[in-house]
């Protein structure tokens, strides 16, 4: 029987296929992505991860079980000290300091995505929060493993990106969130599961828009002053 997390992912399959075929993602995989685009993405992703970390902290506070509280605290540490360190190391190699990263002005998509996550965190119980976290947490593992299966690029920072997100540590993170999602769904009414599936889909769409933003290096749409 298909798990609920698989059902959610299948509902967003067209989004995931668009992400895998996106020139930004393909450019990481074959090493052809320009450094300028990658720098823009890293800065925006750093701004995103700061807010993503707040969501983990809020999720830990809203959890009813100590095990859940502890694991969300672990995910907060993983994000702040492992994932964000990848950005700091890579950007240091590009001559960008940690202070500059922290002062990054969020682009429109970054602001919209993180605002959606934080809003959901305040409005939803734990399963709704997990639903909006999964497209990032599980999605990056999915993308990295797809790229890894095609062979690693020669460019070090793209190879490191793929190796980081395809690592056992990040797979364990994604699997834990999936298992908790499935456990909540097994006891939930259909109306709740439909809402969680819609929340997942909205986050998945934001993931696609985030890669598009990185490829265009777009702070705001062209019709607005930059």
Q: Is 136 a catalytic residue?
A: yes
Task: Work out the number of other CB atoms within 10 angstroms of the CB of residue 138.
Answer: 23
Burial readout 25-47 (b: 16 or more C-beta within 10 A, e: otherwise) = bebbbeeebeeebbbbbbbbbbb
Question: Are 142 and 16 within 8 A, CB to CB?
Answer: yes
Q: Which residue in 26, 121, 207, 222 is the catalytic one? A: 207
Helix, strand, coil abundance in the chain, percent, nearest 5: 80, 0, 20
Task: Give the ranges where 106-218 is alpha helix by DSSP (H).
Answer: 108-123, 126-149, 156-165, 168-185, 190-216
d(CA 170, CA 220): 31
Question: Are 9 and 133 within 8 A, CB to CB?
Answer: no
Q: Which residue in 102, 136, 194, 212 is the catalytic one? A: 136
Q: Is 121 a catalytic residue?
A: no
φ, ψ of residue 32 to 5 degrees: the values are -90, -10
Q: What residues act catalytically?
A: 136, 207
């Amino acid at each position: 029987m298909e798990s609920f997390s698989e059902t959610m992912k299948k509902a967003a399959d067209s989004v995931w296929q668009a992400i895998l075929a996106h020139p930004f993602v393909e450019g990481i995989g074959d090493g052809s992505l320009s450094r300028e685009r990658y720098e823009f993405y890293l800065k925006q992703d750093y701004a995103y991860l700061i807010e993503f970390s707040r969501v983990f902290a809020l999720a830990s506070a809203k959890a009813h079980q100590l095990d859940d509280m502890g694991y969300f605290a672990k995910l907060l540490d993983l994000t702040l000290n492992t994932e964000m360190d990848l950005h700091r190391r890579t950007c240091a190699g590009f001559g960008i300091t940690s202070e500059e990263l922290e002062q990054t002005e969020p682009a429109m998509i970054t602001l919209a995505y993180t605002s959606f996550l934080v809003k959901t965190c305040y409005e939803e119980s734990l399963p709704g929060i997990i639903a909006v976290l999964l497209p990032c947490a599980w999605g990056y593992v999915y993308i990295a493993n797809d790229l890894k299966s095609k062979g690693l690029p020669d460019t070090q920072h793209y190879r490191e990106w793929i190796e980081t997100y395809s690592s056992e540590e990040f797979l364990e993170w994604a699997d834990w969130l999936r298992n908790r999602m499935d456990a909540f769904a097994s006891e939930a009414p259909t109306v709740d599961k439909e809402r969680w599936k819609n929340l997942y889909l909205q986050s998945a769409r934001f993931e696609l828009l985030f890669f598009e933003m990185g490829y265009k290096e777009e702070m705001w749409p062209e019709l607005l002053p930059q």
